[in-house]
């Protein structure tokens, strides 16, 4: 499972928890403007916006899980098992494979509005990156600080939803997730009045009672409600340190601790392998990993963006203890 969220203070922040039981040697990959993007069914794009993101370390092709471009558009791909439908090649459409979608959109769209235009012509074609890899069933959240959308590949084609809550998890489809949120409309960050009835005297014995009923389990629908509530009530100063810190706390509300979600075959547990946070105005990627609580930062604008070679930084995944004596 995974969770994506945005957060707006003075700048626009976007990122995700990457929850899974195995890792494909994730790394930070920077795609400069003149790296030649090859596509399976459409012409290569020779020059495009520069991109920073987290990608699989299995091939030289930038297999992004989440990324942001120099214009401030960000996107994350999350599992959509059992629901994603990829189609046969369609000669009347722009045929993009699922693993090419992030490069295709971020290379050319400066914001969500421009991405919508590209999406209206895309056929997500059922071509896999490699035989030994799954044709990943995915859906995506895009966000630019003005608006956020969710893209779901369904039987009837690509479905684009406005995303008024700024979060995405996995199943069920997004319209259902939004509907389930109605069940939580009584929740509040303030302690509730006693409206129980029958003149029964009920005590306010604790702080935080306005959130009673908010789920705490790690299922996808529960994480959706939990993170939507946390994000909607988030309060921080607007400087960079406060905003980034708060962003990690929002996604921390739905972190998956190793051991709590058993996956059989292989016998492993799903856990939060990394959390990313993009300041999309500045094109800086901050991340933490399960074994490294320190925040590491990579700044797109500190690289030579006119180059044609990919730049990779392996994720640092060991604790950096800060001894003070």
Ligand X SMILES: C[C@H](CCC(=O)NCCS(=O)(=O)O)[C@H]1CC[C@H]2[C@@H]3CC[C@@H]4C[C@H](O)CC[C@]4(C)[C@H]3C[C@H](O)[C@]12C
How many residues touch ligand X under the rule CB under 6 A: the total is 21
Report strand pairing: 122-124 vs 94-96. Answer: parallel
Nearer Cβ to ligand X, position 76 or 305? 76
For position 77 contacting ligand X by CB under 6 A, the verdict is yes
Q: Give bridge partners of residue 161 from the DSSP assignment.
A: 150
For position 65 contacting ligand X by CB under 6 A, the verdict is yes
For position 286 contacting ligand X by CB under 6 A, the verdict is no
* Angstrom distance (rounded) from CA 239 to CA 237: 6
Whether the Cβ atoms of residue 54 and residue 289 lie closer than 8 Å to each other: no
For position 300 contacting ligand X by CB under 6 A, the verdict is no
Provide the minimum distance between the beta carbon of 310 and ligand X in the complex, in angstroms, as a whole number: 15
Q: Which of 78, 106, 112, 228 binds ligand X (CB under 6 A)?
A: 78
For position 279 contacting ligand X by CB under 6 A, the verdict is no
Provide the minimum distance between the beta carbon of 77 and ligand X in the complex, in angstroms, as a whole number: 5
**CA-wise closest residue to 21 among 266, 196, 197, 185:** 266
* Angstrom distance (rounded) from CA 57 to CA 312: 9
DSSP output for 266-312: TTEE-EEEEEEEEETTTTEEEEEETTEEEEEEEEGGGS-TT-SS-EE
For position 52 contacting ligand X by CB under 6 A, the verdict is no
- Residue 215 burial class via C-beta count within 10 angstroms: exposed 0-12, middle 13-18, buried 19 and up: middle
Measuring CA to CA, how many Å separate 181 from each of 80, 174, 229, 273? 19, 11, 9, 27
Q: Which of 24, 39, 61, 184 binds ligand X (CB under 6 A)?
A: 24
For position 39 contacting ligand X by CB under 6 A, the verdict is no
For position 272 contacting ligand X by CB under 6 A, the verdict is no
Q: Tell the residue number behind the tokens 């995303």, with chain if given.
A: 163
From the candidates 2, 68, 260, 277, which is the catalytic residue?
A: 2
For position 290 contacting ligand X by CB under 6 A, the verdict is no
Q: Which of 30, 51, 63, 101 binds ligand X (CB under 6 A)?
A: 63
- Residue 72 burial class via C-beta count within 10 angstroms: exposed 0-12, middle 13-18, buried 19 and up: buried
Nearer Cβ to ligand X, position 81 or 314? 81
The residue at minimum Cβ distance from ligand X is: 79
Whether the Cβ atoms of residue 109 and residue 97 lie closer than 8 Å to each other: no
Whether the Cβ atoms of residue 229 and residue 215 lie closer than 8 Å to each other: no
Q: Which of 135, 178, 214, 310 binds ligand X (CB under 6 A)?
A: 135
For position 17 contacting ligand X by CB under 6 A, the verdict is no
**Per-residue binding letters, 152-171, with ligand X (x by CB under 6 A):** ------------------x-
Based on the residue annotation, tell me whether 2 is a catalytic residue of this protein.
yes
For position 1 contacting ligand X by CB under 6 A, the verdict is yes
In the complex, which residues of this chain contact ligand X (CB under 6 A)? Answer: 1-2, 19-20, 24, 56, 63, 65, 77-79, 81, 98-99, 128-129, 133-136, 170
List the catalytic residues: 2
């Amino acid at each position: 499972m995974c969770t994506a969220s945005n957060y707006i203070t003075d700048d626009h922040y976007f990122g995700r928890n990457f929850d899974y039981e195995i890792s494909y040697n994730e790394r930070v990959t920077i795609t400069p403007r003149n790296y030649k993007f090859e596509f399976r069914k459409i012409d290569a794009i020779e020059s495009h916006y520069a991109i920073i993101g987290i990608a699989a370390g299995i091939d030289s092709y930038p297999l992004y899980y989440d990324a942001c471009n120099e214009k401030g558009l960000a996107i994350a791909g999350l599992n959509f098992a059992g629901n994603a439908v990829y189609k046969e090649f369609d000669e009347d459409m722009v045929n993009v494979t699922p693993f090419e979608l992030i490069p295709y959109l971020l290379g050319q769209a400066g914001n969500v509005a421009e991405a919508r235009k590209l999406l209206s012509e895309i056929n997500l074609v059922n071509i896999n990156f490699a035989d030994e890899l799954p044709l990943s069933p995915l859906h995506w959240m895009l966000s630019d600080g003005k608006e956020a959308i969710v893209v779901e590949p369904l039987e009837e084609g690509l479905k684009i939803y406005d995303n008024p809550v700024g979060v995405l998890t996995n199943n069920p489809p997004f319209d259902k997730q939004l509907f389930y949120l109605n069940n939580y409309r009584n929740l509040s960050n303030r302690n509730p009045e006693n409206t129980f009835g029958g003149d029964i005297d009920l005590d306010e014995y604790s702080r935080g009672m306005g959130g009673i009923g908010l789920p705490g389990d790690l299922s996808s629908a529960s994480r959706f409600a939990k993170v939507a509530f946390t994000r909607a009530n988030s309060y921080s100063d607007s400087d960079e340190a406060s905003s980034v810190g708060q962003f990690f706390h929002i996604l921390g509300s739905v972190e998956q601790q190793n051991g709590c979600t058993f996956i059989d075959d292989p016998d492993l547990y799903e856990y939060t392998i990394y959390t990313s946070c993009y300041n999309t105005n500045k094109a800086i990627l901050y991340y933490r990993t399960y074994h490294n609580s320190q925040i590491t930062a990579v700044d797109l604008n500190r690289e030579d963006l006119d180059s044609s070679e990919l730049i990779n930084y392996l994720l640092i995944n060991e604790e950096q203890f800060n001894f003070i004596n």
